Amino acid sequence: MGGMSVPSQPSPTPDSTPPTRHSFLASFALVLTTLPLASWGLCVSGTLDPDSRAAGSIWIGACVFSLLGALLGLINAIRLRPRNGERIEGRGMSWWALALGLLSPVVSFFLGIATVNFHMAHGRALRRGGRAQLPPPGSDMGWVEDLRTRLDVPPGVAAAWRAQAGMEAASVAAFAHLSNELLALGAPAHLIEKAHWDALDEIRHARLCYGLATAMDGQAQGPAPFPAAVLTRDRRLDVASLAAECMVESCLLEAASARVAGVLSSRSEGPAEIRAVLDIIAVDEARHAAHGWEIISWCREVAGTAIDAELRRALSRVDVASAQAAVEHDELAAWGIAGPTLWRQCIAETLADALARLGEAPEHSLAA
C-alpha cells in the first residue's frame, strides 16, 4: 500500500474562450433614442393629431428621453472598455445609441415639417391627424358627368382635374361629419340643413370635375371605395373646436377656393366647359364660406367672444408658404388648374380678410 501512488486528477484544460460581458443598458438606451421617430410615426398614421398640444408635448418629451438615451449610450460605451481580452457585447450598440440619440430629434423634426404640415386642400377637406384624406380613382358608378364632348388639352390636365374631383368627393364626407357635429352640439336646424346642401354641392362639383377629366382623356373614373369617409373624430367635440375648424376649413379654404376659381375662370384660355365648371365652383364655395361664418356666429352666441382667441390661434397655424396646390407648377392655369403661386396668393388674401373680420367690434355680426 505504501508503495502505491494515487493517480493524480487531470488538471482542467483552460477555456480558450475569453469571458463575455453583456450590457442590457445599451439596448434600453437604444430604445429611448427611437422615441422621437415613434412620435412622428404616430402623427403620420393619424393616431396623434399633429396640431394638438398633446402632440407637441409628446414630441418634446420623446426628445428629452432620446438625449437621455444618448447619454446612457456614451456612459455605457466608456464603461464597457475591454479588459484582459474579454469579449464585450453591447459596446457597439452603445455607440449607436449615442449617435441616434443626437440625430433622432433633428431627423424627426425635419420629417415632421416635410410630411405632417397642414395640407391645404381646396375647399373643406376630410382630415385625419391634420392631413387631407382623398379617395383613389375607381370606377364611374355615376360620378362622371357626361359632357358629351371631347376636350383637347395638354398632357397632365386631365390628371389634375381628376385630382381636383377627388378633393370634391372627399368634401362630401367632410360636410357629413360637420352636420353630425352640429346636431350633436345642438345647433339650429338651418345650419344643419345648409351643411347638407353644401354636401350636395360637393357631389355636383365632383361629378363635373370627373366629367371634365373623362372628356379630356376618355377614362371614365370616379372615386374608389373610401373607408376614410367614416373615420373617427381625432379632435375633441365642443363649440370652440368646431368654430376653429370652420374658421380654417370654410372661412379660409373655401373662400380661397372661390377666389381661385373666379380668377381662373377670368384667365382661362381653354374650352368653355372648363370656365363653366369654374364659375359654378366659385359661386358655391363662396356660399359655403358664408355658411362657415354663420356657424362661427352661432358658436359665439353659445360660448361668447372668448372663442375669438381660439379662432385667431387656428389662423396663426396656417402656413401660407407651405400651401399645396393641385400641381406643383403654374403652367396649367389657362386650363383651370391653380398652381402654387395663385393658390398661395389667394390664401394670403383670404387670411388677411378673415383676420380683419375677426377684428370687428363684438357687436358686429360675424355672419353678416
DSSP string, 38-88: HHHHHHHHTSS-TTSHHHHHHHHHHHHHHHHHHHHHHHHHHHT---TT-EE
Q: Whole-prediction pTM value? A: 0.68
The pLDDT of 86-102, averaged and rounded, is 72
The one-letter amino acid at 178:
L
**In this model, does residue 346 exceed pLDDT 90?**
yes
The one-letter amino acid at 203:
I
**In this model, does residue 48 exceed pLDDT 70?**
no
CA atoms within 13 A on the CB side of 213: 26
SS3 186: coil
**In this model, does residue 64 exceed pLDDT 80?**
yes
**In this model, does residue 1 exceed pLDDT 90?**
no
Mean pLDDT of the chain: 82
Q: How confident is the model at residue 82 (pLDDT cuts 50, 70, 90)?
A: low
The pLDDT of 30-58, averaged and rounded, is 73
CA distance 232 to 211: 31
Q: What is the pLDDT of residue 129?
A: 60
Torsion of CA 260, 266, 272, 273, to 10 degrees: 10
Top-confidence residue, 207 or 99: 207
CA distance 47 to 67: 24
Q: What is the pLDDT of residue 119?
A: 46
The pLDDT of 162-167, averaged and rounded, is 92
CA distance 51 to 60: 14
**In this model, does residue 246 exceed pLDDT 90?**
yes
Top-confidence residue, 228 or 264: 264
Top-confidence residue, 211 or 112: 211
Q: How confident is the model at residue 84 (pLDDT cuts 50, 70, 90)?
A: low
Q: How confident is the model at residue 96 (pLDDT cuts 50, 70, 90)?
A: confident
Q: Where are the alpha helices (DSSP H) in the chain?
A: 24-33, 35-45, 53-79, 91-115, 157-184, 189-217, 239-246, 255-267, 272-303, 307-316, 340-358
Q: Give the tens place of pLDDT for each residue, 277-326.
A: 999 999 999 999 999 999 999 999 999 888 999 999 999 988 888 787 77
Top-confidence residue, 40 or 48: 40
Are 70 and 88 spatial neighbours (Cβ–Cβ below 8 Å)?
no
Are 16 and 39 spatial neighbours (Cβ–Cβ below 8 Å)?
no
User: Residues near 253 by Cβ (< 8 Å), separated by ≥ 6?
Assistant: 120, 121, 122, 123, 124, 125, 347
**In this model, does residue 13 exceed pLDDT 70?**
no
Q: What is the pLDDT of residue 170?
A: 93
Top-confidence residue, 126 or 83: 126
